[in-house]
Amino acid sequence: MKPSDYDFLQKFLHSRSGLVLSSEKQYLVESRLIPVARRAGLGGLDELVAKIRMAGSMELKDDVVEAMTTNETFFFRDKTPFMHFEQEMLPTMLKNRASKRRIRIWSAAASTGQEPYCIAIKLQEARAKTAGFRFEILGTDISKEVLEKARTGIYSQFEVQRGLPIQMLLRYFTQLQEIWQIAPEIRAMVQWKQLNLLENFVNLGEFDIVFCRNVLIYFDQATKIEILNRIAKQMPDDGYLVLGAAETVVGLVDSFEPVPNLRGLYRPKRATQVSVPASSLTGFTPRIRAIG
């Protein structure tokens, strides 16, 4: 790939998705975008870059962004956040929302759906404690393709074997020859929406718990700060933010502070007020599901 083409792709992907590509990532760009070029009937990456440099070609531009922002995920990834959800976040929220009896949860980089479905499974497992409460789980991702897969709740044998305990597989999935589909009652607990975190998401409303794991690592510092501050504006004072193991708010923003002794878990801090950009996002009408 010509240096000028790679430089263009770096700037294009950063402006469209916030993705930061170092000079050492050219191999990754080539491996992911050569198939995109072939599907579009183009001779190679030079033709692909020439095409997306042109005005229009929106579908091809979207395909390039999707190919570069689709990241790996699996059931109960890292385990610790789900332990914190079960032992810290959920009990606290059940107590704090005893009068309202409504809890909203956002999986902000849902990919193919494993994370929000794991949250739904944990709620289903705790239904004796959550009876009478209403839960809403929203899964968002920049990629339309991965969200379409998430909506189906269909996974390969390889995918369900990664992180999913066998008892949960048998309890909450149905085998369809070589694939598995998650139970309708679990699928019904999650709502999906395509969303670019670079856009304003104020119209999504307030969330008690936000999972935003393993996505900030792909952004530069200024973008991380902006996104974290906007997430803080979408949360109550007693809410929880969950980040990935390699991510932190420390040294970035004053809008969150770590929860002591619970790695990757943060709470809003209101000492410093942050601003929200004035751009708008298509409205979101929540769907609430009662558990129990």
Q: What is the DSSP string of 220-271?
A: -HHHHHHHHHHHHTTS-TT-EEE--TT---TTT-SSEEEPTT-TTEEEE-TT
CA distance 13 to 10: 5
Residue with tokens 């909203």: 104
Interval 55-71 mean pLDDT: 82
Count of alpha carbons within 13 Å of 258, Cβ hemisphere only? 13
CA distance 31 to 18: 20
Which pLDDT belongs to residue 274? 43
Q: Which of 32, 101, 134, 267 is catalytic?
A: 32
Interval 52-80 mean pLDDT: 85
Region 80-290: CATH code: 3.40.50.150
**What tens digit of pLDDT does each residue of 221-252 get?**
999 999 999 999 999 999 999 999 889 999 99
**What tens digit of pLDDT does each residue of 107-149 get?**
999 999 999 999 999 999 999 999 999 999 999 999 998 999 9
Among 26-40, 51-65, 97-111, 266-280, the least confident range: 266-280
Q: Which of 141, 208, 213, 230 is catalytic?
A: 141
- pTM reported for the whole predicted model: 0.82
Domain definitions of the chain by residue range: 3-69, 80-290
pLDDT exceeds 90 at position 54: no
Which pLDDT belongs to residue 282? 42
Which pLDDT belongs to residue 167? 95
Specify whether 32 is catalytic. Answer: yes
Residue with tokens 């239904």: 127
CA distance 55 to 225: 31
Among 8-17, 18-27, 173-182, the least confident range: 18-27
pLDDT exceeds 70 at position 284: no
pLDDT, the chain, mean: 89
- Fold adopted by 3-69: Chemotaxis Receptor Methyltransferase Cher; domain 1 (1.10.155)
Which pLDDT belongs to residue 286? 41
pLDDT exceeds 60 at position 215: yes
pLDDT exceeds 90 at position 289: no
